[in-house]
Amino acid sequence: MTKLWIGVLTAGLCSNAWAVIDGEPIDWQAHDNTIQISKCTGTRIGGLFVLTAAHCETNVGLTWIKDAHHDEYQYIVESVYLHPNYVPNYVTEDFAVAKLSTPTDYAHIQFLADLSEPTYVQDAPITIDGFGGLNNQPPARAHFQLDYQVQNYPFRIEAVQTSKGKVAGGDSGSAWISSSDEIVATLTGVTSEGLNDQQQVISGRDLHYAADFILDTVNGWHYPTIATAKGRTTIEVQSLHRGGAVDTAYTSGDATIVAEESSCLTGTIAPFERCTYVIDSGGSKGTLHLSDTESVRLNSASSGGSSGGDSGGSAGWATLLALLGCWHSRRKHKKLVYTQSV
């Protein structure tokens, strides 16, 4: 067993900061695929699923989400799947996919890169949108560039800060977005804070090493759950099916598939391949059914999730108690240094 020392500030509940520090503000409604998930950050994929970090489940437990369309917590995490190679506190594949009990609304979609190949490109720019904890604020954006790939653990990659914004506790699980607006990795921690609020170095996991895990877990389409359509509207989707997919789509209500203009009808769609459905609509309510269990609601955005109700208040008390614990622990532990055994 090789001992590997890594200075890491794990992005979890007990953190010295509560937001993407000095990050670029973003319009959460326009980026509603990014959500809070139990003190971490996640990205909606495949309708019912949320991509995040595995240590968010083992350190905190994933039970609720908060999205751009609700003020309260929604306790709709039905199950959590961890990458089969993940081992807590070791340098392993720190990936998790949470499944929701109901497909809540999101219109914005960012596609996964072609994960059949490694996504790491030296010096490539990336952006990260995160919440940094329970501050009831919309996400903010930080800018980094890919800087290092660990030779013995190629799934572990690092990036260095290139602008004022820095990541902080609660940003774990955030997607690393390439210049082509594709998801290439997820955030797992902070390696070095740098000097004078510059040159922060962060660690993440290349999603190429989660390709099979994602396909096995989702095994469906990656798509927005809501869309606005009037006249001819193009809806792009991505296959996250094990072995690829063929078209079985149909419509209901005020929606018709324009077959001759829809690329999804041309044959087998390979894993991570994208295709389009062109929809003709008069602007009234309709539905594009990708399958019997996967659908895009047209012109009818409304809450698909349960209300937090009184449970949200309970979470608030729990959070206050947890923060008291964090305050106590910070007197002893400002930064964590883990011994990683591989």
Q: Does domain 3-213+337-341 have CATH number 2.40.10.120?
A: yes
Strand bridging mode 182-192 / 111-112: parallel
Please give the share of the chain, as a percent, with pLDDT higher than 70: 80
Q: Does residue 325 surpass a pLDDT of 80? A: no
Residue spans per domain, the chain? 3-213+337-341, 229-298
Pair 286, 254: CB distance under 8 Å: yes
Rounded to whole angstroms, the Cα distance separating 230 from 195 reads 52
pLDDT tens per residue, range 83-123: 999 999 999 999 999 999 998 999 999 999 999 999 999 99
pLDDT bucket at 43, cuts 50 / 70 / 90: very high
Rounded to whole angstroms, the Cα distance separating 278 from 280 reads 7
Rounded to whole angstroms, the Cα distance separating 155 from 167 reads 20
Rounded to whole angstroms, the Cα distance separating 271 from 325 reads 45
pLDDT tens per residue, range 260-272: 999 999 999 999 9
pLDDT tens per residue, range 176-221: 999 999 999 999 999 998 777 778 999 999 999 999 999 999 999 9
